[in-house]
Amino acid sequence: MNDLWQAFFKAISLVITLDDRLLEIVFLSLRLSLSAVGIALLIALPFGAVLALTKFPGRKILVIIINVFMGLPPVVVGLFVYLLLSRSGPFGVFGLLFTPTAMIIAQVILVVPIVTAITRQVLEELHLEYDELLRSLDVPWYRKVTALVWDARFSLTTAALAGFGRAISEVGAVMIVGGNIDHLTRVMTTAIALEARKGDLVMALALGLVLLAVALGINLFAYSITETVKRRHQ
């Protein structure tokens, strides 16, 4: 038990003193996850808006598929991306396997369904609420979309935070396509798994503390946004 406490305090010391190795892993994790979320938002927000505001054949099937994909097993996504990017795969010529780009692709696939589903639900509810008013004012379609997105900005920010939480905490998919290569594709989650297997509890705990702090920050930010929305509607 004493050894565990010593490891815990040493881990805190690594965080406080900003250990170079620790910072390298943390910054890589943040860079990859933020990049993945940014790309996912460019795909998911318009897609979610189209699903929410338009009617077309197959729409219900698409909505069901998106909802199912929200629970995609990360290792399955990792295997799928691995097969696509491997030398025998259709995109193997680009040499992306075991690179940060491959990890971003896997994270984007995991994040897009989450943001799309939340965007569709939020905008669809607002559309039902304001549709008659907007019709009576003869608001053009593009202005209607802009108004609904602006009104839903806090909820959409929460969707983005949910996507970031999924990306930053992912381990299975990024381990498969990234390879956990030191100084190249080793992020917080994969480093924690590796250091724990090696018996280096100090580094594993230090990374775990940072990851917990990031998760706590995301949740607090999301909570503050939710409270802001509630106050606006009171």
The pLDDT averaged over each successive group of 10 residues in the chain (234 residues) is 70 86 93 96 94 90 93 93 94 94 96 95 88 76 82 88 92 94 93 89 90 89 77 64
pLDDT at 150: 86
How far apart are the C-alpha atoms of 116 and 45, rounded to whole Å?
6
Give the integer Cα–Cα distance in Å for 16 and 9.
10
pLDDT value at residue 234: 59
Distance CA 226, CA 217 (A): 14
Asked if residue 189 lies in contact with residue 165, where contact means CB atoms within 8 angstroms, the answer is no
Residue among 233, 71, 212, 68 at smallest CA distance from 155: 233
Q: Using alpha carbons only, how large is the chain's radius of gyration in Å?
A: 21
